[in-house]
Amino acid sequence: MSLSKSRKERLVVLTILGVLALDYPLLALFSRAELFLGIPVLLFYLFGFWLAFILLMAAILKRKGVEKP
């Protein structure tokens, strides 16, 4: 039940990044009634970032050999 310090730091930074990216004012940049590739820009941004966030999290949490606490 331990995670190396650098991985913990990466997770915390990732969370901060997520909170910043998914709130005002960054979100306001995409609040337009337009389509991008046939999808509303706001929806495209939110789901795109969402998926990227999940993939990053999976990459950070991936098991790499035996860990030292």
Partner 1 sequence: MIVSWSWLAPLISILYLGLLFAVAYYADWRAARDRSLIRSPFVYALSIAVYCTSWTYYGSVGRAAVSGIGFLPIFLGPTLIAALWWLILGKIIAISKRNHITSIADFISSRYGKSPVLGGMVTLFVVIGIMPYIALQLKAIAVSLEVLIRHMDAGWTTNVPFVPWRDTALYVAMLLALFAILFGTRHLDASERHEGLVAAIAFESIVKLGAFLALGLFVTFGLFDGFGDLFGQALANPELARLMTFEAIPGGYSSWLAMTFLAMMAVMFLPRQFQVLVVENVNEGHLRQASWLFPLYLFAFNLFVFPIALAGRLLFADGSVDPDTFVLVLPILGRQEWLAPLVYLGGLSAATSMVIVEAIAMSIMVGNDLVLPFFLQFRKALREDLSGIILTIRRGIIVVLMLLGYLYFRLLGESHTLVGIGMVSFAAVAQFAPAILLGIFWTGASRRGALAGVLTGFLIWTHTLLLASFAKSGWIAVGFLTEGPWGIGWLKPEALFGLTGFDPITHSVFWSILCNTGVMVAISLFDRQTAVEQIQAQNFVNVFQKGARGGNEYLWSGFVSVRELRHLLARFIGPLAAEEDFAEYHRQRHLQPSDDAQAPANLVAFAEKRLTGAIGSASARVMISSVVKGEELDLQGVMRILDETSQVIEYSQRLEIKSRQLEAATLQLREANEQLRELDRMKDEFISTVSHELRTPLTSIRAFSEILRDNEDMDLVERRNFTDIIVKEAERLSRLVNQILDLAKIDAGRMEWHEVEVDLPLLAREAIDATRQLFDNKAVRLINKVPEISCRRMADRDKIMQVIINLLSNAVKFCSPGTGEVCIEWRETGEGVGLAVVDNGPGIPEGELEKVFDKFHQVNQGGMEWPLGSGLGLTISQRIIERHQGRIWVESTAGEGSAFIFTLPHPEPSS
Contact 34, 41 (CB under 8 A): yes
Which residues, numbered 9-28, are part of the site for partner 1 (CB under 8 A)? 11-12, 14-15, 18-19, 22-24, 27-28
66 interacts with partner 1 by CB under 8 A: no
Instruction: Please give the Cα distance from 67 to 58 (Å, whole number).
Output: 17
Of 4, 5, 6, 57, the one binding partner 1 (CB under 8 A) is: 57
Q: What is the dihedral of CA 8, 5, 64, 58, to 10 degrees?
A: 10
Binding site for partner 1 (CB under 8 A): 1-3, 8, 11-12, 14-15, 18-19, 22-24, 27-28, 31-35, 38-43, 46-47, 50-51, 53-54, 57-58, 61, 63, 69
